[in-house]
Structure formats: structure tokens, C-alpha cells
Amino acid sequence: MKGQMWSMDFIISFIMFFMAVVLVLFAWDYATTENYEQMLFNDMQSTGLIVSDVIVRTSGSPQDWNMTAMAIGLASEENTIDENKLRNFVFYMDYNDSRRIMGMGSYEYYFIMKNLDNQTMLIDGQPTVKGNYPPVYVKNIVPVERYVLYGGELAKLSFIVWL
């Protein structure tokens, strides 16, 4: 009878220990996943802010770039968008080349300029849009908005980073 009690205590103790280990592993996995997602969000946010800052504040490199650039900047002066650079960026520059030049890594982007009435601005009769709009199933999206001058008019430049 004593041997049966000891084995019953051992089995109950083992089950409780196993449940505690499983609980700790689930908690660890959850914390690790949350930490990774927060780091990913922070990196995407940093990338979006830096790239949009370079786009609206600098003229790029070389300063008179057309379809090829070492750095993409659309400004003729800080926060004033140059029409020729915008045209070259939106219509003539390859999307994947622009991602590489901007240092987007594995992130995708969507660029659009709208006026204050929320209408997409046009250049040569075409919308000022570049990139891929994030699909509905994507959960890692970081939008960045900047206000700029374009053609003497205040405009909202939206730059969305997503993965």
C-alpha cells in the first residue's frame, strides 16, 4: 500500500511539473513573439521616418539625378518637391531599384501625394503614386505623412512601409 501511494504521489507530482513547464514555455513563446513584433514595428517606423525625411528634405545624390540615383531626394529645397524629380521617381524609376536605393531591405512601400482636399495630385495627367498598396491581410503597416509644397500648393505626402 505504501508503494502504491508513493507511485501515485510521483505521478501527480510529475503531471504538475509537466504542466508548469508547458505553461512556462507558452509564456516564453508569447513574450518572444511580442518582443519580435515590437522590434519589427520599431524598425519599420524608423525606416519610414528616415526615408520620408530624406525624400522631402534633400535633393538626392547626385543633386541632378534623373532615373538613376545613389540617394533619392525629391526636394528642390527643404519640404518643397521638385516636379522633375517627382516625375522621374514616380514614372521612370524601377520600383525594386528605388527600394534598394532607399534602403528598404525586405520592406515594401507605397507612396502617394494628395492635396488638402484628399484628391491624388497629378503630374502630366497621371496620379503621383508609386509602389504597392498593402493588401488587407498584412498586419505590419507603418504610415508616415509629411506636408510639403508642390507646385506652390500645400500637399500631403504619404509613405507607407509594410511587410
DSSP codes, the chain = -HHHHHHHHHHHHHHHHHHHHHHHHHHHHHHHHHHHHHHHHHHHHHHHHHHHHHHHH---BSTT-SS--SB---EEETTEE-HHHHHIIIIIS-HHHHHHHHT-TT-EEEEEEEETTSPBPEETTEE-EEE-PPPTT---EEEEEEEEEETTEEEEEEEEEE-
Residue range 4-56, pLDDT digits in tens? 566 788 888 889 999 999 998 988 988 888 899 999 999 999 999 999 999 99
pLDDT at site 3:
52
HSE of 110 in the Cβ direction (CA atoms, 13 Å)? 11
pLDDT at site 34:
87
pLDDT at site 5:
62
pTM value is 0.82
Residue range 119-162, pLDDT digits in tens? 999 999 999 999 999 999 998 999 999 999 999 999 999 999 99
User: Per the structure block, which three cell numbers stand in for 139?
Assistant: 498586419
